[in-house]
Amino acid sequence: MDFPQRLIEGYSTFLSERLPREQSRFRALAESGQRPEIMVVGCADSRVSPEVIFDARPGELFVVRNIANIIPPYEPDTRSHGVSAAIEFGIFALQVKHVVVLGHAQCGGVRAFAEDGEPLTPGDFIGNWMKLLAPAAAKVDRAKLSPADYLTRLEQANITNSLANLMTFPRLAKLIESGKVATHGAYFGVATGEMSVLDRASGEFRRVAAEAYAQALKAPRF
Ligand SMILES: [Zn+2]
């Protein structure tokens, strides 16, 4: 099969629009290396691109994406841990100051976990991966919630659980405790475009930039 035409077209648009604006920045980043201050752990979902949502320029965000934006706990064994390797690189090589776990509404990974109570076959990567959601699910009282509310609460509990798992990395926990690295949870409403951020004191997710959001909805589209 040919290389997708959609990508050729997108690259052509990048060459005519973004590259001219960013060329000096790309050159400087190539010479001096990247120095992003923010790491984002997001879902691989095609609707939740951190660079798009946060309007990021080249070199600004160090991004790792996986199914359901999960940070696994610290497991120093001989297996290959892609997310943990990315965290190690972001924290200790790039020395990012912030780690943001970005979850989202209508997360297919979270829904799959909620709907398939039974574990999938042992050889199934997704089934095994989604088991990492179990500690989050244990904190949400499903019986008291509508199916839609349950998914939202589970998506948000998954963010909180990923942040808790960051604290199981011993060297990182020290940096967080001493205030050198800050961790944050964020939740993006795919249909609405609303963004909420975890309030550590209450454990609730609270809207941010609500005024800008209201303005955006008020502005005439065309
Ligand atoms: Zn997702």
Centroid of ligand 1 to alpha carbon of 21 (angstroms) = 31
Residues around ligand 1, an ion, CB closer than 5 A: 43, 45, 107
Q: How far is the CA of 45 from the centre of ligand 1 (A)?
A: 5
CA of 104 to the centre of ligand 1 (A): 6
pLDDT attached to residue 217:
85
CB-based contact 94:178 (threshold 8 Å) = no
**pLDDT at residue 117, as a whole number:** 57
pTM score, whole prediction: 0.93
Burial 108-119 (b: 16+ CB within 10 A, else e): ebbebbbeeeee
Distance of CA 190 to the CA centre of its chain: 13
Across residues 179-185, what is the average pLDDT? 98
Question: What is the Cα–Cα distance from 145 to 46, expressed in whole angstroms?
Answer: 28
Task: Write out the two tokens for 110.
Answer: 């979270």
The confidence score (pLDDT) of residue 152 equals 97
Q: Which pLDDT belongs to residue 29?
A: 94
Give dist(CA 187, CA 207) in Å, integer.
Answer: 9
Separation of 120 CA from ligand 1 center, angstroms? 19
Average pLDDT across the chain, whole number: 93
Question: Is it the case that residue 62 has pLDDT exceeding 90?
Answer: yes
Please give the Cα distance from 211 to 147 (Å, whole number).
Answer: 30
175 pLDDT exceeds 90?
yes
Write out pLDDT tens, residues 78-128. Answer: 898 999 999 999 999 999 999 999 999 999 999 989 987 555 556 678 888
- Residue percentage of the chain with pLDDT more than 70: 95
Q: What is the mean pLDDT of residues 40-49?
A: 97
Mapped to the 3 state alphabet, what secondary structure does 84-114 carry?
A: HHHHHHHHHHCCCCEEEEEEECCCHHHHHHH
Vertex 188: Cα angle to 199 and 211 (nearest 5): 75
Q: Is 55 helix (H, G, I), strand (E, B) or coil?
A: coil
Q: What is the DSSP letter of 94?
A: S
186 near 179, Cβ under 8 Å?
A: no
Q: Which residues contact 65 (CB under 8 A, 6 or more apart)?
A: 41, 42, 43, 44, 50
